[in-house]
C-alpha cells in the first residue's frame, strides 16, 4: 500500500487499484465536512480529555498504565481501536498502542461528532 496526496494505492492478487476521496466517501457514506481536529487542536471537542476518555474505555478502570495500550480496553472500545488503527489510519508501527490522534478519533466516533 502506498499513498500520495490524492489516493491510496494497493494491490490485491496482482490487481492494482486506487481509492480516491470520492470512492472512500461513497463506500463509507461519510461526508467531508466539519471541524478539523487533530493533536494539539482538540479545543473544538469541548470536554475531551485523553486520559479520562482512555480510562472510560478500560475494563478495569483502576488499572491505568503509562501507555495507552489496546489490551486493557473493554470489548467495544477495543474493536473500535482496531478499526481506527488498522483500517481508518493504517500505519507501519506499533498497532497495540493508541496515539493521541487515535483517541481523538475514537472519541469523535463514540460521541457522534
pLDDT tens per residue across span 53-106: 778 788 776 666 667 778 778 888 888 888 888 887 777 777 788 888 888 888
Same domain, 89 and 79: yes
Give the pLDDT score at 16: 84
Same domain, 107 and 76: yes
Same domain, 16 and 47: no
No. of H helices and E strands in the chain? Answer: 4, 3
Cell 481523538 identifies what position? Answer: 104
Same domain, 100 and 110: yes
Give the pLDDT score at 84: 85
Give the pLDDT score at 58: 80
The tally of domains found in the chain comes to: 2
Same domain, 7 and 52: no
The residue range of the domain holding 6 is: 1-33
Same domain, 39 and 77: yes
Look at 33 and 103; give whichever has higher pLDDT: 103
Residues 6+ apart with CB under 8 A from 110: 77, 80
Same domain, 46 and 69: yes
* 105 touches 68 (CB < 8 A): no
C-alpha cell recorded at residue 78: 477495543
* pTM of this structure: 0.59
Amino acid at each position: 500500500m502506498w499513498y500520495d496526496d490524492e489516493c491510496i494505492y494497493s494491490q490485491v492478487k496482482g490487481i492494482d487499484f486506487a481509492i480516491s476521496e470520492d470512492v472512500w466517501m461513497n463506500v463509507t457514506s461519510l461526508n467531508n465536512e466539519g471541524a478539523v481536529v487533530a493533536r494539539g487542536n482538540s479545543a473544538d471537542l469541548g470536554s475531551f480529555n485523553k486520559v479520562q476518555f482512555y480510562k472510560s474505555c478500560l475494563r478495569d478502570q483502576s488499572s491505568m498504565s503509562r501507555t495507552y495500550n489496546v489490551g486493557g480496553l473493554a470489548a467495544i472500545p477495543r474493536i473500535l481501536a482496531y478499526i481506527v488503527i488498522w483500517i481508518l489510519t493504517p500505519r507501519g508501527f506499533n498497532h497495540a498502542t493508541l496515539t493521541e490522534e487515535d483517541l481523538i478519533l475514537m472519541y469523535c466516533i463514540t460521541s457522534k461528532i
